[in-house]
Amino acid sequence: MNTQSTSLFSAPRLGRALRILGEAPLSAKFGLLVIATYIFVALFAPWISPFGESEIVGKKFLPWNDQFLLGTDHLGRDMLTRVLYGARNTVGIALLTTILAFLLGGILGILAAILGGWLDQLMSRIVDVFMAIPALIFAMLLLSIFGTSILNLIVIMSVIDATRIYRIARAVSLNVVVMDYIEAARLRGEKLAWITVQEILPNISAPLAAEFGLRFCFVFLTISALSFLGLGIQPPIADWGSMVRQTAILITYGDYTPLIPAFAIALLTVAVNFIIDWFLHKSSGLKDEV
Partner 1 sequence: MKSDSDKPCLLEIDNLYIEGFSEGIWHEIVNGVSLSLDRGEVLGLIGESGAGKSTIGIAAMGYCKAGCKILPGSSIQFDGIELTTASEDEKRRLRGARIAYVAQSAAAAFNPAHKLIDQFSESVVQHGVGSREQAYADAKELYSKIKMPEPDTIGFRYPHQVSGGQLQRAMTAMALSCRPDLIIFDEPTTALDVTTQIEVLATIRDIVEDFNTAAIYISHDLAVVAQMADRIMVLRYGNLVEEAQTRAMLANPREDYTKSLWAVRTFKKTVSHHDPSSDPLIRINNVCATYPKAPKPVLTDVDFEIYRGETVAIVGESGSGKSTAARVITGLLPPTQGTVVFEGDELPPDYHNRSTSELQKIQMIYQMADTAINPRHKIRKIVGRPLSFYLNMDGDERNRRLNELMEMIEMDPKQFLDRYPEELSGGQKQRICIARALAANPSFIICDEITSALDQLVAEGILRLLDRLQKELSLAYMFITHDLATVRAIADRIVVMLEGRIVEQGFKTEVLEPPHHEYTELLLSSVPEMNPDWMDNIMAQRSEQKGLQAAGN
Which residues of this protein are in contact with partner 1, per CB under 8 A?
1-5, 8, 179-181, 183-184, 186-190, 198-199, 202-203, 286-288
Alpha carbon separation from 158 to 100, 213, 248, 253 (Å, rounded) = 6, 15, 29, 38
Spatial distance between the Cα atoms of 180 and 10, rounded to a whole number of angstroms: 34
Minimum CB–partner distance for residue 134 and partner 1 (Å): 34
Long-range contacts of 115-122 (CB under 8 A, 24+ apart): 115/192, 120/170
Q: Which of 266, 245, 268, 232 is nearest to 154 (CA)?
A: 232
Supply the minimum distance, in Å, between the C-beta of residue 180 and partner 1. 4
Separation CA 208–CA 115 (nearest Å): 20
As measured in angstroms, the least distance from the Cβ of 202 to partner 1 is 4
Sequence-separated (6 or more) residues with CB below 8 Å from residue 24: 32, 278
Cβ nearer to partner 1, comparing 137 with 187: 187
For partner 1, which is the closer residue by CB, 145 or 193?
Answer: 193
What is the closest distance, in whole angstroms, from the C-beta atom of residue 196 to partner 1 in the complex?
Answer: 13
- Shortest separation between residue 233's beta carbon and partner 1, angstroms: 39
CB of 209 to partner 1, least distance (A): 13
Measure the CA–CA gap between 227 and 232, rounded to whole angstroms: 4
User: What's the closest the beta carbon of residue 69 comes to partner 1, in angstroms?
Assistant: 47
Its sign, for the CA torsion 34, 38, 267, 274, is positive
- Cα separation, 245 vs 33, whole angstroms: 28
Nearer to partner 1, 96 or 280 (CB): 280
- Cβ proximity of 240 and 83 under 8 Å: yes
Distance of alpha carbon 51 from its chain centroid, rounded?
Answer: 28
Smaller CB distance to partner 1: residue 8 or 193? Answer: 8
The Cα–Cα gap between 58 and 276 comes to 42
Q: Which is nearer to partner 1, 203 or 273 (CB)?
A: 203
Indicate the residue among 26 and 286 with the shorter CB distance to partner 1. Answer: 286
Distance CA 261, CA 239 (A): 8
By beta-carbon proximity to partner 1, the closer residue of 190 and 255 is 190
Query: Looking at beta carbons only, is 66 or 287 nearer to partner 1?
Result: 287
End-to-end CA distance of the chain: 16
Question: Least distance (Å) from partner 1 to the CB of residue 227?
Answer: 40
